[in-house]
Amino acid sequence: MVAAAVAEVRLPNFFADNMVLQRDLPCPVWGEAIPGETVTVSFRGQTMSTQADDAGQWRITLAPTAAGTPFELKVAGAANTITIQNVAVGEVWVASGQSNMGWPLRLSNDAEKEIAASTFPGIRFFQAAKTVALTPQLNVKGAWKASAPAVSGDFSGVAYFFARHLHQKLGVPVGILQTEWGGTPAEAWTSAGALAADPALRQAFVDWANTLAAFPRENAKYPYKVKDFEQGKRKHRPSPPNGPDSPQMPIGLYNGMVAPFVTYAIRGAIWYQG
């Protein structure tokens, strides 16, 4: 969670200014506080309170509301109150996958024209930082940004055009949770439970254990492979071997870049993997 004084209520990074909540569905809001502390959440006439559990975790669920903007979401504890401004309610989608999903708008067809016309205050992107983790995380770095020429060039091109289509057809705000990493396998985006439950997929854990066992040996060779490349002895620059922090690790991207969002209310997900 966000670093703060011990006594303060804290929220994941995606509960922040310019965020989008899913319309017409119950919307969980959660965070951290002192164990036993009372936390009160207020939004569009709703006010709900709960207590943080023994691990300092708390959660409430807002009742469904209609699309609209702008609103304030307030979260209050004993020592602090967080006021999230310019909250929109509309359609929320996860956009994930490999480099095809990550391909930015600035490199898409007619990029200059498209970026110049990208002022849509009702389209907001949260771009999750590339994160590998051994265990499911509660938070991920990132910030909500409203679509505008100054920022839209770095949005996923596929997700931007998808969001624009929904925004124009439905006439409601659209939020995109962009979480992608090029050149990564599906196993990296899959939870440990899902991999373990399928006999055909459990082999991914065995293969990765073998990869880690070989890492010290392969890593020791890597500088010499680069030297050979630079001296013209190889046709292609070698990639570093996969190690403990590699995005190829089974479950690693699920833990770091999907798990933080699993209870965020969404309409659906789009996936693009070449």
- At which residue do the structure tokens 């699309």 appear? 67
Residues sharing a CB contact under 8 Å with residue 66, sequence separation 6 or more, in sequence order:
23, 24, 89
Q: Is the peptide bond before 121 cis (omega within 30 degrees of 0)?
A: no
For residue 170, give Cα distances in angstroms to 20, 54, 121, 122, 167.
Answer: 15, 43, 15, 12, 6
% of the chain beyond a pLDDT of 70: 97
pLDDT confidence band for 6 (50 / 70 / 90): low
Question: What is the arithmetic mean of pLDDT over 112-118?
Answer: 98
Residues sharing a CB contact under 8 Å with residue 225, sequence separation 6 or more, in sequence order:
234, 238
Averaged confidence pLDDT in the chain: 95
138-186 pLDDT, tens digit per residue, is: 999 999 999 999 999 999 999 999 999 999 999 999 999 999 999 999 9
Say if residue 79 is exposed, middle or buried (CB neighbours under 10 Å; 0-12, 13-18, 19+): middle
Per-residue pLDDT at 2 exceeds 70 = no
Contact indicator for 20, 88 with CB cutoff of 8 Å: yes
Full-model pTM:
0.93
Contact indicator for 92, 175 with CB cutoff of 8 Å: yes
What was the pLDDT predicted at 4?
45
Phi, psi of 197 (to 5 degrees): -75, -15
Q: Compute the chain's Rg from CA coordinates.
A: 21
67 C-beta neighbours (distance < 10 Å), count: 19
Residues sharing a CB contact under 8 Å with residue 109, sequence separation 6 or more, in sequence order:
none
What was the pLDDT predicted at 163?
98
What was the pLDDT predicted at 5?
45
What was the pLDDT predicted at 7?
67
